[in-house]
């Protein structure tokens, strides 16, 4: 993920068994913040992997309440 030099960026860590993601908090303006996440989900993922992915999204939403989110979810088609 590319972030412009003039934006303050901080990587966020969430305890999860699902590992194919990057979560960043961007700070801009006086008190403006945006959490953005890039996630990869294989088109051949198992039900267990899907449940881990959904659990991760739920954990992020409950941990970072009152935040703006931008999600990028990449699913490659074979």
Q: Which of 38-42, 56-60, 64-68 has the lowest mean pLDDT?
A: 64-68
Distance set, CA 76 to CA 19, 41, 61, 70 (Å): 17, 8, 24, 19
SS3 content of the chain, % helix, strand, coil (to 5): 20, 35, 40
Give the start-to-end residue ranges of the domains of the chain. 1-29
pLDDT tens per residue, range 13-52: 999 999 999 999 888 777 888 888 888 888 888 999 999 9
Q: What pTM, to 2 d.p., does this model score?
A: 0.76
Range ranked top by mean pLDDT from 4-8, 18-22, 40-44, 64-68: 18-22
Which among 63, 72, 78 is positioned nearest to 21, based on CA atoms?
72
Question: Strand pairing partners for 53?
Answer: none
Q: Rounded to the nearest 5 degrees, what angle is found at the Cα of 65, between the Cα atoms of 9 and 16?
A: 70
Model confidence band, residue 6 (pLDDT cutoffs 50, 70, 90): confident
């Amino acid at each position: 993920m590319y972030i412009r030099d003039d934006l303050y960026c901080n990587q966020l860590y969430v305890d999860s068994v699902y590992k194919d993601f990057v979560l960043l908090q961007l700070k801009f303006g006086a008190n403006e913040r945006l959490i953005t996440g890039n996630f990869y989900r294989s088109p051949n993922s198992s039900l267990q992997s899907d449940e881990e992915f959904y659990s991760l999204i739920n954990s992020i939403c409950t941990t970072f309440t009152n935040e703006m989110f931008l999600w990028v979810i990449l699913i490659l088609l074979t």
